Structure 1
Amino acid sequence: MQKWQNKIRSLRQFLRGWAVNMNGAYKKEKQELTRKADLLDKEAETRLLSQQELDLKQCIKDR
């Protein structure tokens, strides 16, 4: 029983660390997408965006 409890405790610690790591990765990805979307919005104010840039902007907003 003790071995089983130790293995479960170890698994829980691993999963907590993994969850923290995934949350950090999601946060970084969100910041990067927001930065790119803001950059495209600023460029759209000064000039017309190409079709490729419009597609990229839509893809970023969907994500």
Structure 2
Amino acid sequence: NKIRHLRQFLRGWVKNQNGIYKVEKERLKQIINEHDVKAESTLLNMSERNIKNEAEKNYKPL
């Protein structure tokens, strides 16, 4: 019984972690895309470039 309960708990935990992973990945992708679109029409200032670079750096390991 203990193994069964542990297995159920771990399944729920993994589903939660996958959900968090997908949400974070989408958020980073959205930031990158927004800054790419803006960069096509105007120059990005230093803070915008830093935000985009940080999002790209964090997106790659995911």
TM-score of the two chains, using structure 2 as the length reference: 0.89
Q: Deviations over 1:18-57 (max 9, x none)?
A: 0011101100110111011100000001111011110110
- Aligned with residue 56 of structure 2, among 22, 37, 61: 61
Measured in 2, the distance between the counterparts of 1:27 and 1:42 equals: 22
The percentage of counterpart residues that share the same residue type is 47
Q: How does 1:20-35 map to 2 (within 5 A)?
A: 20-35=15-30
Provide the aligned length of Structure 1 versus Structure 2: 58
- Which of these two proteins has the greater Rg computed from alpha carbons? 1
Question: Normalising by structure 1, what TM-score?
Answer: 0.88
Match of 1:13 in 2: 8
RMSD: 0.6
Structure 1 residue runs of 5 or longer lacking an equivalent are 1-5
